[in-house]
Amino acid sequence: MNIEIINNIKSKMMADLLPEQLEKLEAVLLEALVNGESSENNIKDNKNLIKQFISTKRIEGCSKRTEDYYFSTLSFFEKNIKCNILLVDTKTIREYLINYQKINNCSNVTLDTVRRILSSFYKWLEEEDFILKSPMKRIHKIKTPTVIKSAFSEEQIEMIRRTAADNTRNLAIIDILLSSGIRVSELVRLNRTSINLNSRTCVVFGKGAKQRETYFDVRTKIELENYLKTRKDKNRALFVTSHKKSKHGAYTRLTVNSIEKMIREIGLKTEIENVHPHRFRRTMATRAIDKGMPIEQIQILLGHTKIDTTLRYANVQQNNVRHSHQKYIC
């Protein structure tokens, strides 16, 4: 394969050339050996590189949902640049991002997500010695507006709980999301053995297959006990479908989509805007920080690698800011 030939030449010349000269050599070799290949070969090579990258992300512990999003984004990119991925330069990617936003009429948030995926892909190509330098290094983060995403108020929480009260399973789901702050993707992977009702703890597997212990309150314990008493099946999953609604037989593990749909329907009944699973997670973080819990501990509870992510989740209630100002400043 031409790429292997190029890498061998680069390895032999690395000791004799400066980085700039090595980069120029790679560009010349790519132009001569790769760009001269047929369009059919280019497409084949592109697809193989994308598959290898996705396999790497899978080994790193990416969820199936993330894998699929990476694959669709990169496949769309590969289809539209119409050349070998290894020959793409910074100018080409900038033009691609500009056209992507025009064609898809997407926000800067979505566009920056595409940029991050391309950056991750080309960083991998560089690390694997497919290319000498990533063309994404000079393409920086796209500025996005800072939007304050609100948590649920106490009144809204009670409205949601009352609406879900006629279904023990749904009420238990809402309470565990609210008190533990776990992700919905983590919730669907919970088994009966994942929770300890006596200590009010549960072991979850988060992003990157990282395991952590989280906690829930007394109310959640009671609702979980009420729900588990209704279970007549032997499925090890903590939350399962009802007998009548299951398409794959009685009592199958609930999916992310089914929980999102259930919570969305509750939101419509209560006429509360933006009712979705992730907002319960944000609400838990906001409550914790308002009650004085150290941000480092909230970070551990939420399973965040970086504390900056936690700070984006935890919104300090404006009323508390006003009271603190009156206490410490006025």
**What per-residue confidence (pLDDT) applies to 41?**
55
**What per-residue confidence (pLDDT) applies to 118?**
96
Q: Are residues 197 and 112 in the same domain?
A: no
**What per-residue confidence (pLDDT) applies to 144?**
77
Q: What is the CATH number of the domain that holds 248?
A: 1.10.443.10
**What is the side-by-side order of every strand in the sheet holding 195-196?**
195-196, 201-205, 211-215
Q: Are residues 82 and 222 in the same domain?
A: no
Distances (CA, A) of 291 to 144, 154, 199, 200, 319: 30, 14, 22, 20, 13
Query: Which residue from 65, 101, 90, 93 is spatially nearest to 77, judged by alpha carbons?
Result: 93
Of 80, 110, 127, the one marking the end of a domain is 127
H helices, E strands: number in the chain: 15, 3
> pTM above the 0.75 mark?
no
Residues in CB range of 304: below 8 A, 6 or more apart: 310, 313
Q: Is residue 44 part of a domain?
A: yes
Q: Is residue 248 part of a domain?
A: yes
Q: Are residues 46 and 105 in the same domain?
A: yes
Residues 182, 217: Cα–Cα separation, whole Å: 13
Residues 246, 249: Cα–Cα separation, whole Å: 6
CA dihedral 63, 187, 213, 62 (to 10 degrees): 0
Q: Are residues 273 and 169 in the same domain?
A: yes
Q: Which amino acid is at 242?
A: S
CB 263 within 8 A of CB 276: yes
Query: Which residue from 59, 76, 150, 63 is spatially nearest to 110, judged by alpha carbons?
Result: 76
Q: Is residue 196 part of a domain?
A: yes
**What per-residue confidence (pLDDT) applies to 65?**
83
* Structural domain span for residue 90: 2-127
Q: Are residues 215 and 256 in the same domain?
A: yes
Residues 68, 16: Cα–Cα separation, whole Å: 42
Residues in CB range of 172: below 8 A, 6 or more apart: 220, 223, 224, 226, 227, 239
Give the pLDDT confidence of 82-97 residue by residue, as tens digits.
Answer: 788 888 889 999 999 9
**What per-residue confidence (pLDDT) applies to 202?**
94
Total domains in the chain come to 2
**What per-residue confidence (pLDDT) applies to 21?**
74
Q: Is residue 102 part of a domain?
A: yes
Q: Are residues 162 and 240 in the same domain?
A: yes
**What per-residue confidence (pLDDT) applies to 13?**
73
Q: Are residues 167 and 273 in the same domain?
A: yes
Segments of the chain with pLDDT less than 70:
1-7, 27, 30-44, 146-148, 208, 243-250, 313-330
Go through the chain and tell me how many residues it has: 330
CB 220 within 8 A of CB 236: no
Residues 54, 72: Cα–Cα separation, whole Å: 11
Q: Is residue 133 part of a domain?
A: no
- Buried b / exposed e across 112-140, counting CB within 10 Å, b at 16+? bbbbebbbbbbebbbeeebbbbbbbeebe
